[in-house]
Amino acid sequence: MIKFDSVSKTYVAGSGGLSDITFQIDDNDFVFLVGPSGAGKTTILKLIMRQIVPTSGSIFIDSVDITSKKYNDTVKLHRKIGVVFQDFKILMNNTVFENIALALKVSGTSDKIIKSQVEEMLELIGLAEKKFMFPLQLSAGELQRVAIGRSIIGERTILLADEPTGNLDPKTTWDIMKLFKKLEKKRTIIIATHNVDIVNSFKKRVITLIDGKLIKDERAGRYHL
């Protein structure tokens, strides 16, 4: 469960912040964040990851107040959260297998478990036959599949995606979105996007932001901007 309680974030530059935002996202919910550039979508994702903290208000992840001054378990929080970016952020000198295994290696997981979990993930994302290839040998869609696999390995329960199809052609975009749909039963998924067709076709929950304010929050919503 993710809960924002009267959250505001003010930046010195003035744009991209939030003003008195309140919402709750339950476990295994699938949510689109929509709004024009600078509306506050990326700010919400950064707040959930605790990359930044709010100017005021509280944020709860699984009933824990991550905005409390006493909160000091960011490492544990990050083990719950996977992040997918528009530009993939893949390690170019590592193979597909090594990129996906990275988070497990950092957490000290044994080689035996890493091999088992990465092989399973490769099957899920459809890249089992390309596990020893390097990023330069892959298409943009395949790179994003690697990024998604890396973001959810290790049983992460929250998946955040910031314009995950922004650099992809239309066909590849839909292939990637089908992968997100496959993942939704076991994870909370929050996707910030400008893609009207995707939002309207999926008929999932849509949170609309304009100028840092929550304008609309709809189940089976549409892109209204």
**37-43, long-range: CB within 8 Å, 24+ apart, which pairs?**
38/211, 39/209, 39/210, 39/211, 39/212, 40/9, 40/16, 40/209, 40/211, 40/212, 41/162, 41/192, 41/209, 42/16, 42/162, 42/192, 43/9, 43/16, 43/17, 43/18, 43/212
Rounded CA separation 156/147 (Å)? 14
Domains and CATH numbers, the chain: 28-37+74-206+213-218 (3.40.50.300)
Q: What three-state secondary structure class fits 215?
A: strand
Position 14 scores a pLDDT of 67
Cβ burial of 213 (10 Å; 0-12, 13-18, 19+) is middle
Residue 150 DSSP code: H
The number of helices, as runs of H, and strands, as runs of E, in the chain is 7, 10
In sequence order, the 6+-apart residues with CB closer than 8 A to the CB of 15 are 38
Side-chain half-sphere CA neighbours of 198 within 13 A: 25
Position 87 scores a pLDDT of 84
Position 154 scores a pLDDT of 85
Tens digit of each residue's pLDDT, the chain (225 residues)? 999 999 999 988 767 799 999 999 999 999 999 999 889 999 999 999 999 999 999 999 999 999 998 999 998 898 899 999 888 889 999 999 999 998 888 888 899 999 999 999 999 999 999 999 999 999 999 999 999 999 989 878 999 999 999 889 999 999 999 999 988 888 999 999 999 999 999 999 999 999 999 999 999 898 877
Residue 184 DSSP code: G
pTM flag (> 0.85): yes
Rounded CA separation 188/186 (Å)? 7
Rounded CA separation 85/49 (Å)? 13
